[in-house]
A = this chain, B = another copy of it.
């Protein structure tokens, strides 16, 4: 079965990093369960409504704390009623004569923040985070923002590569976006720095697919950037003519090795009013998401069935290998800002 497979998967576990655990509005009165890098977490709000993240396992008999409830900002286990405060210290053991607090009764705590409408969790327990969560681009006048969350059955790397890949759009999303009309030779200028990799596509005419024709009926020049920002952010920036501007920032959360949650913020300004553009573009965007999710699932099933990946790449896989190298460096903790470079390639779109 493992024919011509190296038995390896593109799984990088960058643990010293912030990931979106849930949307702010998902975390209300009751605790909820989430997973990051395979670690089961319980999220709840403390007495000051600030979010807390603990390992989702009672120190006593290992019941999931997410089955419990919040009692005045303390998390109470549903099995025997042990209570934990916002930093995971056990503050009550029902029935016990004597002190509840004891180091062995603590539950590991993961740093948590609330920012830009998301609850972020740092994926290493009990440490001081290196830095703060990524800040989403600010919206400005004339812009509309749409948010969408989807979960895909793939590695973080495969999801990121898919989100920032140009050639597949002409096939998997044929007609919606690219893949009709004749191809054009364009250039991609790739810039790598310590924490990110960016491709700028130069000379691309307006795509001939449905979305392009609606947005800019008279054609026009395209400005197009694809960016990967460590540890898990994919950003696509698109200008079509002077009127249309799209900035799609996808905050990826590695739920498990082969499961990734995508939190997309789609910020746009078009020649149409926001509500109308949304009405027109939403069905197209959802179809693209579904097609990508289905293909990632099938790709993942195939590599798992073969016991590992057996990839080959070409020049037009512009960012995939770079994303992988940055992830591996970050996983190993090598974040020295040494490897900055620029290069250019040609491709036909």
Contact = CB atoms under 8 A, between A and B. Distances in A.
Contact of A79 (B40, B55, B81, B171): B171
A95 B167 contact: yes
Interface in A248-302: 295, 298-299, 301-302
A311 B82 CA distance: 13
Interface of A is mostly: loop
A337 interface: no
Contacts of A104: 312
A181 interface: no
A39 interface: yes
A299 B170 contact: no
Given A1-B39, A39-B1, A79-B171, A61 B97 contact: no
Contacts of A302: 40, 56-57, 62-64
Interface string A48-77: 000000011101111110010000000011
B295 A38 contact: no
Contact of A96 (B170, B306, B347): B347
Given A1-B39, A67-B298, A79-B168, A62 B306 contact: yes
Nearest to A167: B95
Interface residues of A, number: 64
User: Within the oligomer, what is the number of copies of this chain?
Assistant: 3
A294 to B, nearest CB: 9
A140 interface: no
A295 B61 CA distance: 11
A316 interface: yes
Contact of A62 (B97, B171, B309): B309
A329 interface: no
Contact of A167 (B64, B78, B81, B170): B81
B315 A81 contact: no
A171 B105 contact: no
A108 interface: yes
B62 A299 contact: yes
Given A79-B168, A94-B183, A96-B314, 10 more contacts: A40-B305, A63-B295, A63-B299, A63-B302, A64-B298, A80-B167, A81-B168, A94-B170, A95-B348, A96-B348
22 contacts: A3-B108, A40-B305, A57-B306, A60-B312, A61-B299, A62-B306, A62-B311, A64-B298, A67-B295, A76-B171, A78-B171, A78-B295, A79-B168, A93-B314, A93-B316, A94-B170, A94-B171, A94-B316, A95-B349, A96-B314, A96-B315, A96-B347
